């Protein structure tokens, strides 16, 4: 039943059975799709990754590829102190981290992998049902999630989340690992080594990465103010 509900939520009704076709050949519905159906159009449900191990591995290979835009540290500080800043585009460099995160967000949405990154205002690591909203989308509002909360939520996921959610977490780690520049990957790897094993995953990896990607931008703003 859970799979059926997820499937109906993730995909609009099949239009081929409506019997309504425009002269252009476009098939339409009697009534519009709901807002949730419109928002989920084009999303591959997390419950549609395949019923066999080989099918899921094939889907994993398709999804876990490098992003078109690298996740990288902001280099504006080094540019400002360079001898010849005319060779650099400051605005483009400042926007680099935003482009990278937006690329990651797009992939996570398209593959129904955003739910692990939705963090409640309060939660209990000993009771899965003791949590209260509102929920914060960490990909969008990463600055609202503290390092401690990220670590605790990662532990909560490993303890209580369904296997398909743990799978999404693992796939997200692979995507980020393949998409980080060598410099950022080294910094993130060094910080992850300071965490316990059950504190390491997509949530903490993303939090640590954004710490290095975005805080440098704030340092730049402070430097410019001075």
Chain centre to alpha carbon of residue 79:
29
Which tens digits make up the pLDDT trace of 45-84? 888 888 899 999 999 998 989 998 888 876 554 544 445 4
Has residue 128 got a pLDDT over 90? no
Q: H or E stretch including 170?
A: helix 163-179
Can you give the pLDDT at residue 18?
55
Residues 125, 159: contact at Cβ < 8 Å?
yes
What's the pLDDT tens digit per position in 145-178? 999 999 999 999 999 999 899 999 999 999 999 9
C-alpha separations of 194 from 158, 163, 188, 198 in Å: 18, 26, 10, 12
Residue in 88, 69, 62, 66 with CA at minimum distance from that of residue 77: 88
Residues 193, 185: Cα–Cα separation, whole Å: 12
Lowest-pLDDT range, 25-39, 64-78, 101-115, 122-136? 25-39
* Rounded distance between C-alpha atoms, residue 200 and residue 151, angstroms: 8
- Where along the chain do its domains lie? 2-42, 76-225
Q: Which of the listed ranges 75-79, 93-97, 138-142 does the model predict with the highest average pLDDT?
A: 138-142
Tokens 């585009």 found at: 89
Per-residue confidence (pLDDT) for residue 205, from 0 to 100? 96
Whether 12 has a pLDDT exceeding 80, the answer reads no
């Amino acid at each position: 039943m859970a799979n059926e509900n997820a499937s109906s939520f993730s995909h609009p009704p099949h239009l081929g059975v409506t019997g309504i076709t425009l002269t252009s050949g476009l098939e339409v519905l009697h009534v519009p799709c709901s807002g949730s159906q419109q928002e989920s159009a084009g999303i591959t449900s997390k419950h549609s990754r395949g019923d066999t191990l080989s099918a899921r591995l094939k889907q994993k290979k398709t999804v876990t590829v490098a992003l078109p835009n690298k996740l990288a540290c902001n280099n504006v500080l080094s540019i400002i102190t360079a001898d010849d800043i005319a060779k650099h585009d400051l605005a483009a460099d400042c926007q680099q981290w935003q482009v990278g995160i937006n690329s990651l967000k797009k992939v996570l949405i398209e593959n129904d992998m955003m739910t692990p990154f939705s963090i409640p205002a309060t939660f209990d690591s000993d009771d899965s049902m003791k949590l209260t909203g509102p929920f914060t989308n960490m990909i969008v509002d990463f600055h609202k999630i503290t390092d401690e909360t990220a670590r605790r939520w990662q532990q909560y996921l490993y303890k209580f989340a369904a296997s398909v959610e743990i799978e999404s977490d693992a796939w997200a780690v692979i995507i980020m690992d393949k998409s980080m520049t060598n410099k950022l990957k080294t910094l993130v790897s060094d910080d992850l080594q300071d965490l316990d094993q059950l504190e390491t995953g997509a949530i903490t990896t993303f939090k640590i990465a954004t710490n290095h990607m975005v805080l440098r931008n704030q340092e730049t703003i402070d430097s410019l103010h001075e």
